[in-house]
Amino acid sequence: MDKTAYLSVYDKTGIEEFAKGLSELGFAVYASGSTYKLLAEAGIEAEEVRYSPPVPYSVLKALSGRFPAVSENGVELPAFYVVAANLYPIASIVGQEEFALEELSNYLDQSNSAVLRAAARDFTNVITVASPVDYGPVLRALKEDGGLEPEIKKQLASRAWQYLAAYDATIAQYLSETGNLLGDEVVISLKKVADLDYGENRHQRAAFYALSGARPRGLNAARVHAGENFNLNHYLDLDTAFELAMEFEEPVCAVAKHARPSGLCAGATLPECLRGALRADPAGAVGGTAAFNRQLDADTAGLLKEAFIESVVAPGYSPDALRILRTKEGLRVLELGAPVLSPREVELHSVAGGVLIEDKDNVLLSSEPACVTRRRPSEAEMRSLLLAWRAVKYAKTYAVVLAEGNTVIAVSAAESSTYDAVRGAVWKMRERRSILPGAGPLVMAADAALPLKTLQAALAGGVTAVIQPGGWQDDEDCAQLCDARGAAMLLAGIRHFRH
């Protein structure tokens, strides 16, 4: 083993201690650029390696075993046994709102990228260190054992390749925002945001990752004001509830549990919205997440303090509201601005042996819904239909949503047929109508085209207006049935399946 080391790092964390430790072990230390300058200022002996950007040919020549290798300042370079290098933090740069595409080439680190690849390629002979967290273990192994076991060298090389892959993928992701995200090859780099308490069940491990280099658009940008111990289910509910709330321009409260809406109410004030959303499904709201599309005030916070809600998310909070909410034990309080959606965002679905990728369902209505009945929905019915249509977009397929006035009063989701979904919604509605005062006509939204039998069950349950995707063989019969019963029906021309 030749006691030689080459150090060239952007992240200077721990590099002085690492270089000093190597010197004390008898290593000849070589360094470049700002790393050499830092070591010299710290009084640590090192040989300066100069080269002309963008690629340090002399270092690469030494790592490849081709000699003589001489730097531009005349320093002869040996075969290096230890190489420590890391790259410019490109993810933190491209994620900034003010960053411009034209600036990207100025930040790409070709030099240390090439050095890391060359070192990791020869992992049987070279100790490749890409992260400061490995400095200590490497020094201890060199001091105590005189070197590293082949398996440890392989692990370090693997980390270097992963580090390089994440770097390259971050750049590809950034550029793909202007390209095709469903191409023949898709690279994804993820950066851990937080470890979670558990996954969907307590025996499953889980963590929250953000797309590396992506501009903050969602829960990765949330500010946590109170609460801790998030699990995977909390994030699924937060995502569902907040995206649903952000579908509305008027004040609204959306309550979600198990990644589907259980209550929704739009009103003049947030307290009114919260009361309506909780009354819609009191049992379904227990342990759920409440989302708002307005800054939360003290009155709403006071109501939330008395409700069995585990998480709340809003674009902002008044000081008094935060003070009240922080006194509620176990409540998770998050602040999240309105999401800035890219038209090319995608959804990922894990399956055995691969991943399914699709465009994100960002379209509520592709065109004005077509009225196919003689009677058009009244103004009151239309308001309720649009409320129900937004809610059904976030419910699991097959789904049906019943609404009255400005409130969803029943959600039936994840059924095997639309008929079962309607029967479930009507059953829930009848049970709750003794609690909820009638607020106007009863309307229904369905996420799938309705067979005639399903529509018959809905009209028998008291529904007076329907919005559904259409496109089924029973569309004409359904319109005729509505005409016979004096009901109104809209065909949206777009469906919102959610699995």
pLDDT at position 437 is 53
Residues 218 and 169 in one domain: no
Residue 343 placed within a domain: no
**Cα-based distances in Å from 224 to 202, 313, 322, 333, 481:** 23, 9, 11, 6, 51
DSSP classification of residue 214: P
Residue 487 placed within a domain: yes
Q: Which CATH number is 432's domain given? A: 3.40.140.20
pLDDT at position 341 is 57
Residues 200 and 283 in one domain: yes
Residue 355 placed within a domain: no
> pLDDT-based confidence at 262, cuts 50/70/90?
very high
Residue 51 placed within a domain: yes
Q: How many other C-beta atoms are found inside a 10 Å radius of the C-beta of residue 10?
A: 14
Residues 12 and 147 in one domain: yes
CB-CB contact of 198 with 236 (8 Å): no
- Annotate 241-269 with b (16+ C-beta within 10 A) or e (fewer): bbbbbbbbeebbbbbbbbbbbbbbbbbee
Residues 472 and 450 in one domain: yes
CB-CB contact of 399 with 423 (8 Å): no
pLDDT at position 65 is 85
Residue 496 placed within a domain: no
For residue 410, what are the domain limits? 370-491
Residues 109 and 148 in one domain: yes
Residues 204 and 266 in one domain: yes
**Cα-based distances in Å from 248 to 13, 292, 341:** 46, 10, 15
Name the domain count of the chain: 3
pLDDT at position 435 is 53
pLDDT tens digits for range 390-440 = 999 999 999 999 999 999 999 999 999 999 999 999 998 887 665 555 667
- Tell me what the mean pLDDT of segment 109-132 comes to: 94
Residue 354 placed within a domain: no
Residues 405 and 429 in one domain: yes
pLDDT at position 308 is 92
pLDDT tens digits for range 356-403 = 988 889 889 989 999 999 999 999 999 999 999 999 999 999 999 999
Residues in the chain: 499
Residues 322 and 454 in one domain: no
Residues 101 and 195 in one domain: no
Single out the residue in 148, 176, 204 at which a domain terminates: 176
CA gap 386, 139 in Å, rounded:
64
> pLDDT-based confidence at 205, cuts 50/70/90?
very high
pLDDT at position 84 is 97
pLDDT at position 93 is 73
Residues 155 and 210 in one domain: no
Residues 264 and 138 in one domain: no
- Tell me what the mean pLDDT of segment 477-484 comes to: 97
Residues 139 and 13 in one domain: yes
Q: Which two tokens stand for residue 188?
A: 């994804």
> Does residue 486 register a pLDDT over 70?
yes
Q: Which CATH number is 63's domain given? A: 3.40.50.1380
Residue 162 placed within a domain: yes
- Tell me what the mean pLDDT of segment 61-69 comes to: 87
